[in-house]
Amino acid sequence: MLAELKGLNEECGIFGIWGHPDAAQLTYYGLHSLQHRGQEGTGMVVSDQKRLKGLKGEGLVAEIFTAKAMEEMTGSAAIGHVRYATAGGGGYENVQPLLFNSQTGSLALAHNGNLVNANQLKLQLEGQGSIFQTSSDTEVLAHLIRRGGFSSIKDRVKTALTMLKGAYAFLIMTEDELMVALDPNGMRPLSIAKLGDAYVVASETCAFDVVGAEFVRDVLPGELITINANGIHSEMYSIASNQAMCTMEYVYFSRPDSNIQGINVHTARKAMGKKLALEVPIEADVVTGVPDSSISAAIGYAEQSGIPYEMGLIKNRYVGRTFIQPSQTLREQGVKMKLSPVRGVVEGKRVIMVDDSIVRGTTSRRIVTMLKEAGAKEVHVVISSPPIQNPCFYGIDTSTREELIASKLSPEEIREMIGADSLTFLSVEGMLGAIGKDPREDQCGQCLACFTGKYPTEIYPTELTLETVK
């Protein structure tokens, strides 16, 4: 996967639909459109209002949901998930949705995000007799729901949600209803749409376009939406506080054709490129972007600077996902297999290479080397986000400061390490301005923790014993 080579893995993606006879088939298409958010595993659970049936596996959407397997997935409601491993690691048992059966009914959960107090809650629940079947933080919610003292499933869900800390967008399905919940900080994108009389929920609006659904609105921070035979009902289970949408959704994670908080991702990235050109005027012959997430910013830089945009790097879309093998030799070959420089574009030229971020720096070094080997006279690297100096605890795989090169080296030291002729990052103010936020406002509505170190929630220790949580 190119994301693995770039240093950041995507967040997970969730999709749900209620009230459509082709629920499973539409979920397949919805998950396919969200495949960029996770390629390690996928699953779906369908409901025919009598029972829940699940299908999941490690692999891509098209690999798991074969025509034969889908014949058994009948029902008018479904939830689905595409995953990359965050909390709990990989493994079949951690692939979502998680499905739980009991004497009083079944429950399916799909989650995008990361619970920062999952370890504390697990230890408390295990002390009360719970036995966990997975290492995923998502299972915590199921145990909290089952231990709730209220008779109503909705009341139990509301109580359980108030105990969670961190980033989460949840789809919770029983035989007769679908519940949708977003954390009080609104750290993950989640929207709702209509398809005829059916309701559709997804991590990104691009999934609505694929299935032909019409966008209705974003799910609000701290909101719980219930969809059943009686229609749709909304209530606030928590007071929304310090709204903090993950800024990396605009920079890297989301598809360019998605809208987040009413802002088109491609437009935001293009504006970031324009801000870069204003902040970093460079004399060069050509501008190119690292496919795919940096193309929009590269176009914006070219338009603002007047330097022509060219396709200086080509992404090979036909390299199998199993190519990356656990040997150092093959890992070193990874970038060359995934990306190829266009010699006719870069040879003898001063090249501005636009990328969205630098995490560990190894991939940037390899790309700069490739461009110079292809004859580029100069390679100037411009990054359409600020330096990532702080770990993320909310669902991105940068949970330690040691793996972040910008936390250890200055921009000049990074430039020297990657072999570029110059290296510049977009300012925090420029990035916020590009997505229409006022950087002078303390509550700008964005999570900037990986850039500034200011986290919107409490951060809990990862190594715990039962004594530490008492």
Are the C-beta atoms of residues 33 and 203 closer than 8 Å to each other? no
Are the C-beta atoms of residues 41 and 95 closer than 8 Å to each other? yes
Catalytic residue among 12, 206, 447, 450: 12
Q: Is 12 a catalytic residue?
A: yes
The b-or-e profile of 218-248 (16+ CB within 10 A means b, else e) is: bbbbbbbbbbbeeebeeeebbeeeebbbbbb
How many angstroms separate the CA atoms of 462 and 393, rounded?
10
What is the CA 182 to chain-centroid distance, rounded?
Answer: 15
Rounded to 5 degrees, φ, ψ at 388 are -85, 105
Catalytic (active-site) positions: 12
